[in-house]
Amino acid sequence: MPIALKLEMPEGAFSALRKDPNEFVKELRLAAAVKWYEMGMISQEKAAEIAGLTRDEFISSLSRFNVSPFQYTAEEIEEELRNAD
């Protein structure tokens, strides 16, 4: 069940982004989800849920923010390769 949050924003924020309040909320949810995903705080599945998108839609949206859908460090990739042998 969704929880409603109240967020006060200066009126100029909407015009600066050329968005009405509803579009602004959608963009804010997506931006937060992308950043938290990029930081490794949440999974793609959870990020998609926060953004109000399907997982495929979320993955497609990552390119808008120049964020890779693959969030692995070099060490994690090396570990995966060692375990594959």
For residue range 13-65, list pLDDT tens digits in order: 777 878 888 898 999 999 999 999 999 999 999 999 999 999 999 999 999 99
Please indicate, yes or no, if residue 1 is contained in any of the structural domains. Answer: no
Q: Which domain does 75 fall in, by range?
A: 12-84
Q: Locate tokens 């923010």: which residue? A: 65
Report how many domains make up the chain: 1
The per-residue pLDDT for 44 is: 94
56 token code pair: 């495929």
Cβ-based burial of 7 (10 A; exposed 0-12, middle 13-18, buried ≥19): exposed
Please indicate, yes or no, if residue 46 is contained in any of the structural domains. Answer: yes
Please indicate, yes or no, if residue 2 is contained in any of the structural domains. Answer: no
Please indicate, yes or no, if residue 4 is contained in any of the structural domains. Answer: no
- This prediction has a pTM of 0.79
The per-residue pLDDT for 39 is: 94
The per-residue pLDDT for 77 is: 77
Cβ-based burial of 8 (10 A; exposed 0-12, middle 13-18, buried ≥19): exposed
Please indicate, yes or no, if residue 6 is contained in any of the structural domains. Answer: no
Please indicate, yes or no, if residue 31 is contained in any of the structural domains. Answer: yes
Q: 74 or 70: which carries more pLDDT confidence?
A: 70
